[in-house]
Structure 1
Amino acid sequence: MKSIITVDHNSGAPKYQQIIQSVISAIDNKQLRIGDKIPSVNEVSDSTGIAKKTVVQAFEQLKQTGVISAVKYKGYFVASANTHSKHNIFVLFNHLTAYKEDIYEGIKSTLDGKGVVDIFFHHNNMEVFKTLIAQSAGKYTEYIIMPIPDKGMKPALKKLPQDKIYILDMGYQDWGQAYPSVCQHFEADIYQVLQQGLPTIRRKYNKLVLVLGPQFYNLKQIEKGFRQFCREFELDFSIISHAKNKRPARGELYVLVNDQDLVHLVKKTTTFGYKLGKDVGIISYNDFPMKEIVGNGITTISSDFTRMGMDVINMILKKKKAHLQNPCRLVERSSF
């Protein structure tokens, strides 16, 4: 019975909250049932090394919510199987973009009143990331994290309950296999999507140009998948950092990772009198409504971000641990 209540001394979560969560988890998992006796204050203190007053604080909070009851001279017993354990979820995005709204809609619709969500942004700043993690430790039932490619990630995540972390969208190779995850597989995605458009590429274009834009987590995987596709199908290609100083040429198909390059390239095609989808082609990453309008419609490589939000919440609600590859598709419009 003592093993039901455990405390991770390396976690940043308050010890009394870890005790509370241990009891709630044991009830939710049917390890404890109504009428079962739970370990005494002395037993928990001795087995975990936690001060008795901290154990009492945890038990008193459980009593106040009606989860356990105390019988004088006999101890504490499970009083209710209704733990009232609504999910209180911490979501840490990298930065605000249009597709984050789609993820949030997926989260909100699937949670459907079974909990609440607090959203934060780390802006790919490791100091901000560490601060937000430290401040949130122990205050939430689950933690959904978009990671940063930084060595500081590992010690920062160690401050959180390890069985409550879920990795979202990026960093599958680094973190998505260590924790439950719903991630894009960038290398495979760009290869598969371009292969889907191969008949059009062969018919209309003589060169592919990948425009990388600013550095971000999975840029190397995108570049690797792009190179593999072009070499395997013997297509002429080049890879550049930005489109700002690039003059487009007829017969070129541009794959744009960053939306700033999309703006530059659409302007240039107009300036030089080219017609999108006929003289010059564009495929842009991440679909959102404005791309249906710009240039009479921009073709996109886009993950199903609403599905991403739905899948991570379904894992939480169903208490499943999985590593899911989020679906990716080519949304064809006139620019291709």
Structure 2
Amino acid sequence: MNELFYKIKELKDESLRSKHEQLVTGIINAINDKLIKKGDRLPSINNMVKEVGFARKTIVRAYEDLKNRGIVESKNFKGYYIANTNTNSKLKIALLLYAFQAFHEDFYNTFRKELGKKYHIDIFFHHNNIEVFKNILDTINGKYGMYVIAPIPVPEVGIMLRKIPSEKLLIIDRYIEMPSDYSYLSQEFENSTYQRLQELHNGINNYEKVVLFYRGDSDYPIGIKNGFTKFIQDYSIKGSIQKTYKKGTLQKNTLYFFISDTNLWQVLKDTVKEGFKLGEEIGIITHNDNDAKEIIFNGITTISADFKVMAQEAALFVKDKIPVHKIIPSEIKKRNSL
């Protein structure tokens, strides 16, 4: 293994490379130069510490990085072995989302762009179904270098996620109670909904009543319902909560608040059909912004976290492995519909 140690040591003077990168690159160079081949055992952690002088955790991280790329494998705690001499292998990432809605598409496209060509992303959807979530997790666990997961916020899912090492898992979108060593980039719904509605109070007052569409049997966050209820009570606003919108039941001088876009399009169609003026006779606020809402009907007002920012920070976690615990704040995009 003297040739391998030499390949690593010759990179030690390159100040732009971290010690982790020197180890990974040195091993890859040794494979490419056919100094080590498939099936060869890499030096033990202790031997590598002795020969190159790096910390144990740095060497373990480098070996695990190569393992996540499929280049190295560990066998029954007996050490690390070369499993694949294709050194162009990409780090595989499992991305598990609710569904491919417009705001999730924004997240995915930004996430993929930020990571670039060095990473391979497989995307899965659980549709807020516990059994589907469990089946996907059972299938992907142990097969990817990193996991970026939008969880179903129930204790059962937290137990499932603890099977993934904390350094390999990033929880996004919905917050779920986990040990402090697990990272997250999540939304907060109750206080932020209340605060954003406060900021829109003057526009909301232009309407006789407000209707929130909320289905308790869906993935709708309960925090939005709680924040809405507190707002209409505190400000003595006439408001109600309905499960869904029925075609042809549009009421003038009413503000409609949507969590999902499912009912939004029918309300817009009925607004045109009835000849009502959006932003004056009919008001609309929706959750989760996207490009279409910026354009249609001269703009739909939204309350939304910035999923592109969430994706950018998620990509940083994947690349740098630096723990993160952050709530992505919601913001208002006030447009023609209010």
**TM (normalized to structure 1)?**
0.71
Other structure's SS at 2:81 match = helix
Residue correspondence of structure 1 range 1-336 to structure 2 within 5 A: 31-32=55-56, 54-56=76-78, 58-61=79-82, 87-150=91-154, 152-170=156-174, 172-175=175-178, 179-202=182-205, 204-213=206-215, 215-244=217-246, 247-336=249-338
Query: Structure 1 residues 316 and 223, CA, compared in 2 at 3 Å: closer, same or farther?
Result: same
| RMSD of Structure 2 on Structure 1 (CA) | 3.4
Q: Is the 8 A contact 1:186 1:218 kept in 2?
A: no
Aligned counterparts of 1:104 and 1:259: Cα–Cα separation in 2: 19
Question: Percent same amino acid at aligned positions?
Answer: 34
Report the Cα offset of residue 238 of structure 1. Answer: 1.2
Other structure's SS at 1:215 match = coil
Query: Structure 1 residues 266 and 53, CA, compared in 2 at 3 Å: closer, same or farther?
Result: closer
Return the letter of the residue paired with 2:287: Y
Report the Cα offset of residue 256 of structure 1. Answer: 0.8
CA deviation vs aligned residue, 1:208-234 (integer Å, no higher than 9, x gap)? 211114633453110111112222223
- In structure 1, the partner of 2:27 is none
Aligned counterparts of 2:80 and 2:99: Cα–Cα separation in 1: 39
Report the Cα offset of residue 292 of structure 1. Answer: 3.3
Aligned counterparts of 1:190 and 1:151: Cα–Cα separation in 2: 24
Aligned counterparts of 1:178 and 1:231: Cα–Cα separation in 2: 39
Query: Structure 1 residues 193 and 34, CA, compared in 2 at 3 Å: closer, same or farther?
Result: closer
Moved more, 105-114 or 90-99: 105-114
Return the letter of the residue paired with 1:129: F
Aligned counterparts of 2:330 and 2:247: Cα–Cα separation in 1: 30
Q: Is the 8 A contact 2:212 2:240 kept in 1?
A: yes
Q: Is the 8 A contact 1:134 1:159 kept in 2?
A: no
Aligned counterparts of 2:178 and 2:231: Cα–Cα separation in 1: 26
Equivalent residue pairs, number: 278
Aligned counterparts of 1:35 and 1:188: Cα–Cα separation in 2: 44
Query: Structure 1 residues 101 and 34, CA, compared in 2 at 3 Å: closer, same or farther?
Result: closer
Return the letter of the residue paired with 1:180: S
Aligned counterparts of 2:124 and 2:172: Cα–Cα separation in 1: 14
Aligned counterparts of 1:300 and 1:175: Cα–Cα separation in 2: 30
Q: Is the 8 A contact 1:133 1:159 kept in 2?
A: no
